[in-house]
Amino acid sequence: MEPMLISEGSSRRGALTDLALELGQKSAGFRRSLPESLLTSLADLVRSMNCYYSNLIEGHDTHPIDIERALKGDYSKDTKKRDLQLEAKAHITVQQWIDSGSLNGRAITADAIREIHKRFCEQLPEDLLWVEHPETKEKIEVIPGEYRDLDVVVGRHIPVSAPAVPRFLKRFEEVYSKLGKTETIIAAAAAHHRFAWIHPFLDGNGRVARLMSHATLLEAFDTGGVWSIARGLARNVDAYKGHLTACDLPRRNDLDGRGHLSEETLTDFTTFFLTTCIDQVTFMERLMQPDRLRTRILLWTEEEIRLGKLPHKSGAILEAALYRGEIPRAETPAIFEASERSSSRFVSSLLERGVLTSESTRAPLRLAFPAALASRWMPGLFPEKTG
Q: How far is CA 54 from CA 50, 144, 363, in A?
A: 6, 19, 34
User: How far is 140 from 149, CA to CA, in rounded Å?
Assistant: 11
Query: What b/e sequence results for 178-196 when a residue is b if at least 16 CB atoms lie within 10 Å of its CB, and e otherwise?
Result: ebeeeebbbbbbbbbbbbb
Pairing mode, if any, of strands 326-327 and 356-357?
A: unpaired
Looking at residue 133, what is its pLDDT? 78
Domains, the chain, ranges and CATH? 13-287 (1.10.3290.10), 290-377 (1.10.10.10)
User: How far is 83 from 33, CA to CA, in rounded Å?
Assistant: 38
Provide the residue-wise pLDDT of the chain in tens; the chain has 387 residues. Answer: 999 999 999 999 999 999 999 999 999 999 999 888 789 899 999 999 999 999 999 999 998 899 999 999 999 999 999 999 999 999 999 999 999 999 999 999 999 999 999 999 999 999 999 998 777 888 999 999 999 999 999 988 999 999 999 999 999 999 999 999 999 999 999 999 999 999 999 999 999 999 999 999 999 998 899 999 999 999 999 999 999 999 999 888 777 777 889 999 999 999 999 999 999 999 999 999 989 999 999 999 999 999 999 998 999 999 999 988 889 999 999 999 999 999 999 999 999 999 999 999 889 999 999 999 999 999 999 887 655
- Residue 13 and residue 7 in contact, taking contact as beta carbons nearer than 8 Å: yes
Looking at residue 296, what is its pLDDT? 97
Spatial CB neighbours of 187, under 8 Å, sequence gap ≥ 6: 4, 5, 6, 176, 179
User: How far is 54 from 140, CA to CA, in rounded Å?
Assistant: 24
Output phi, psi for 346, to 5 deg. Answer: -65, -45
Q: Which residues share a beta bridge with 356? A: 367
User: How far is 321 from 301, CA to CA, in rounded Å?
Assistant: 14
Q: How far is CA 179 from CA 96, 146, 169, 332, 346, in A?
A: 25, 27, 16, 50, 52
Residue 349 Cα to chain centre, angstroms: 30
Looking at residue 386, what is its pLDDT? 59
Looking at residue 155, what is its pLDDT? 87
Looking at residue 277, what is its pLDDT? 97
Looking at residue 387, what is its pLDDT? 54
User: How far is 109 from 142, CA to CA, in rounded Å?
Assistant: 21
Residue 293 Cα to chain centre, angstroms: 22
- Residue 227 and residue 288 in contact, taking contact as beta carbons nearer than 8 Å: no
pTM, full prediction: 0.93
User: How far is 99 from 46, CA to CA, in rounded Å?
Assistant: 11
